[in-house]
Amino acid sequence: MEKILSKLKGLPGVLGVYLVDSDGNLLYVNSSLDNPPIELSYALSSLRGYLNDLLDSTKMGKFVDSFIDGSVGRIIFNSLKNGDLLVVFASNVSNLGMIKFEMSNAIQQIENIR
C-alpha cells in the first residue's frame, strides 16, 4: 500500500495523503501538513458522516467522492468499496485532473490487493 499511495504524495502540489477507515482510524498517512494526522483522520471521518447524513436525508444516495476548494488549497475525498476513505490535501497550483486520475488508480490497486 505504501508504494501505491506514495505515488500520489509525489505529485506536484500534493501536501498530504490519508487513508482512513469508516471509524476514523488512520490506516495510512504521508503528509507535510503541520496538523496531527490522528486529529485530521477523526475530522475527515466525521465530515464524511455529515455528508452521508445530508445525502441520505435528501435521498441523494450514498457519499462517493467530493472536493472542497479553499482559498489556498483543496481537499479531495474518494470512498473505497469497503468504506475506507482516501483523502488528498493539495495546493491550488496542483493539477486536479492528474490527482483524480492517480486517486482512481490507487483505489483500484488497493481494492485489488484486499
DSSP string, 77-92: EEE-TTS-EEEEEEET
Q: What is the pLDDT of residue 102?
A: 95
In order of 7, 42, 54, 59, the CA distances from 88 in angstroms are 12, 15, 22, 27
The model's pLDDT over 81-100, given as tens digits with 9 standing for 90+, comes to 999 999 999 999 999 999 99
Tracing cell 490487493 back to the chain, one arrives at 113
H/E run at residue 41: helix 37-57
Domains in the chain, ordered, with CATH? 2-113 (3.30.450.30)
Rounded Cα gap, residues 51 and 4, in angstroms: 27
Taking only the tens place, the pLDDT of each residue in 1-25 is: 889 999 999 999 999 999 999 888 9
pTM to 2 decimal places:
0.91
Q: What percentage of residues in the chain have a pLDDT greater than 90?
A: 75
